[in-house]
């Protein structure tokens, strides 16, 4: 699968899961829905950080800025995700202001996804060979599957590419 298709499919799944979370009723349903959502988001953030962004420097003009922005957004998303996980684990009475935090998180995700879909994906399509995008997409699928299965305990250090560009 082309990495662009993988990313777009992941974005769509996260948007759908986020909608289900926002509509969930009851504390157990809400926690369960968020657990599913957070797993997909966390996986995508790791894939972007450890496999996508290391491929970009030098690939197109301003790639370094795209990488810096993407990494900063990903880091912020991960921090807010952990905050929400902790907050939602508390008793309902202790979740003061959580709705505003969820709205801010949702907006941050949408901003990140929009930037990728409107700018990054277009640049990748123009500047990365189809074969390389498909190879990277396969890496994304394999790592995602290993993470789900619990067989991957260590991922690349940030900024380290695990594959060679042809």
Q: How confident is the model at residue 157 (pLDDT cuts 50, 70, 90)?
A: very low
**Given phi > 0 = left and psi -120 to 50 = alpha, else beta, which region is 159?**
left
In this predicted structure, what is the pLDDT of residue 8?
A: 97
Q: How confident is the model at residue 162 (pLDDT cuts 50, 70, 90)?
A: very low
Q: What CA–CA distance (Å, rounded) separates 100 from 19?
A: 15
Q: Which domains does the chain have, with CATH numbers?
A: 3-148 (1.20.120.520)
pLDDT tens digit sequence for 18-70: 999 999 988 899 999 999 999 999 999 999 999 999 999 999 999 999 999 99
pLDDT tens digit sequence for 77-94: 999 999 999 999 999 899
Handedness of CA 70, 48, 76, 157 (dihedral sign): negative
| Helix (H) / strand (E) containing 114 | helix 98-115
pTM flag (> 0.85): yes
In this predicted structure, what is the pLDDT of residue 78?
A: 95
In this predicted structure, what is the pLDDT of residue 153?
A: 53
| pLDDT more than 70, % of the chain | 91
In this predicted structure, what is the pLDDT of residue 149?
A: 87
**Closest by alpha carbon to 43, among 17, 65, 25?**
17
pLDDT tens digit sequence for 96-141: 899 999 999 999 999 999 999 999 999 999 999 999 999 999 999 9
In this predicted structure, what is the pLDDT of residue 159?
A: 42
């Amino acid at each position: 699968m082309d990495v662009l298709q993988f990313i777009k499919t992941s974005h769509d799944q996260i948007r759908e899961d986020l909608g289900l979370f926002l509509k969930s009723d009851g504390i157990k349903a809400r926690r369960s829905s968020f657990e599913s959502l957070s797993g997909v988001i966390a996986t995508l953030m790791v894939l972007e950080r450890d496999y996508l962004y290391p491929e970009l420097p030098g690939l197109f003009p301003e790639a370094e800025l795209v990488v810096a922005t993407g990494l900063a957004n990903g880091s912020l998303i991960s921090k807010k995700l952990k905050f929400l996980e902790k907050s939602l684990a508390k008793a309902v009475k202790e979740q003061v202001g959580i709705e505003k935090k969820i709205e801010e998180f949702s907006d941050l995700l949408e901003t990140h996804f929009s930037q990728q879909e409107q700018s990054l994906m277009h640049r990748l399509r123009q500047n990365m060979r189809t074969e390389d995008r498909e190879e990277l997409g396969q890496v994304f699928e394999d790592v995602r599957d290993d993470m789900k299965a619990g067989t991957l305990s260590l991922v690349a250090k940030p900024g380290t590419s695990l594959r060679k560009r042809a």
